[in-house]
Amino acid sequence: MKGDGDKVVDNAHKKTKSVLIVEDDYFQAHILEKMVIHCGYSVAGKSDTGEYAIDLAKKSSPDIILMDISLRGEMDGIDTVHEIQKDLTPIVIYLTGNSDDYHMSRAKETGYLRYLNKPINLPILRGVFNLIDESS
């Protein structure tokens, strides 16, 4: 019998959060995909260009976007997030090697959750996901 202080957790109503991975390095994208799945999230898609990421976001409406700043194609990650935010409001986590003031100030305009310098590892990603889970 459960006492008054015992908590019963009902996860049946909880939807798995979906993550769009936008990364121009195939190997990094693959590693990120494995980490996302290991953390219990689903992968909505992967893209190495801003243009394709926008299409994927419109089709899948991801809860979270892991966004590299340097991408293949005409758009960088910050421009891509601006375009996606015209229609959607996903949580944005930048994963980048561009930690200079110029990129950071541009990224701030998008209201991101975290700006993480590469390389990242599973404990770092899990920590960010835990913040998201705690706030929802």
Tens-level pLDDT at each residue, the chain (136 residues)? 344 444 444 444 457 999 999 999 999 999 999 999 999 999 999 999 999 999 999 999 999 999 999 999 999 999 999 999 999 999 999 999 878 999 999 999 999 999 999 999 999 999 999 999 998 8
Burial of 121: CB neighbours in 10 Å, binned 0-12, 13-18, 19+: exposed
> Quick one: how many helices (H) and strands (E) in the chain?
5, 5
Extract the runs of DSSP E, i.e. beta strands, from 23-74.
Answer: 42-47, 64-67
Q: Which domain holds residue 73?
A: 18-135
Q: Assess if residue 108 is contained within a domain.
A: yes
Within a domain: 2: no
Domain total of the chain: 1
Domain assignment of residue 107, yes or no: yes
User: Domain containing 108 — which CATH number?
Assistant: 3.40.50.2300
The answer to whether residue 77 sits within a structural domain is yes
Find tokens 């990094």 and name the residue.
28
**Does residue 75 form part of some domain?**
yes
Residue 10 forms part of a structural domain: no
Burial class of residue 126 (count of CB atoms within 10 Å of its CB; 0-12, 13-18, 19+): middle
CA–CA distance, 67 with 115 (Å, rounded to integer): 9
4 inside domain: no
Whether residue 85 lies inside any domain: the answer is yes
